[in-house]
Amino acid sequence: MLFGYITLLVACFYGVSSQRILEALTLGNNNPNVTRDDCVWKRERVCPDPDITFHLYTNHGGKVQSEEVNTRYPAWIHSSAYDNTKPSVILIHGYAGVRSDYMPVAVLRDAYLKSGQHNVFLVDWSPLAAVPCYASAVHNMRSVARCTAHFMEFLRMSGVPTDQTTCVGHSLGAHVCGITSNFLIFRMSKIIGLDPARPLIRNNLKARLDPGDAIIVQVLHTSSTFGDPKRMGTVDVCVNGGRSQPFCAEAKSKKREII
């Protein structure tokens, strides 16, 4: 429910199929074989980290292709499919996110690719944010933010303009975008937060998105069930009041089961 309404709005606008939208709303990644005993509590603060990877996505003839970013190789960007004539977007998933066609952020990824106007990077920290490991996912956000900052510095040193790079985060990913700013030597140009998560976050001022994290911080609120209705951007958009969406009432019970 955290991201479902945003997914619908963006996906419908770009013509994403109804089946893909349904998969995104239900996340499609609830693994019954994972228990709380499998939760990862990240303690190392070293980047690169094998549990946090970065990927560049491109669209070739309607087919989505990806390549993992090698931050150990300074010239990687010049041998990749990166297009220096386009601005870049960095997508960060939240709790239960995975790097697959089922995660909500994949719907955004495909929407950006379909527009053909952006380089699309994705931060994959799914090993640290798996169901049912919400508490450990919150704990792991700082490590993810640290490595995302390391990645953004790599991009900057490779010639990617910081003023043409936007961090887009969903749920916990929105807060990761914000925390990342604490590790950067430059100020981020723009952050877009999609239903920033509320549980275990709201009163933790050092681990949340706020208006000072970038020059522009845009936040979209569609649900106060698990998303935080608190104003935390330079611009906050509350869809239908930002608390609940009437057209999703029938799906509410199914989406609650995810959390």
Task: State the CATH number of the domain containing residue 227.
Answer: 3.40.50.1820
Q: What is the pLDDT of residue 72?
A: 94
Is residue 34 domain-resident? no
Is residue 32 domain-resident? no
Is residue 8 domain-resident? no
Is residue 76 domain-resident? yes
Which domain, by its residues, includes 119? Answer: 44-255
Is residue 108 domain-resident? yes
Is residue 96 domain-resident? yes
In the chain, the number of structural domains is 1
User: What b/e sequence results for 110-142 when a residue is b if at least 16 CB atoms lie within 10 Å of its CB, and e otherwise?
Assistant: bbbbeeeebbbbbbbbbbbbbbbbbebbbbbbb
Is residue 35 domain-resident? no
pTM over 0.75: yes
Is residue 37 domain-resident? no
The encoded tokens of residue 53 equal 């990877």
Q: What tens-digit pLDDT sequence spans the chain (259 residues)?
A: 444 444 444 444 444 444 444 444 445 455 667 788 899 999 878 999 999 999 999 988 888 899 999 999 999 999 999 999 999 999 999 998 876 665 578 889 999 999 999 999 999 999 999 988 999 999 999 999 999 999 999 999 999 999 999 999 999 999 999 999 999 999 999 999 999 999 999 788 788 999 999 999 999 998 777 788 889 999 999 887 767 777 665 555 544 444 3
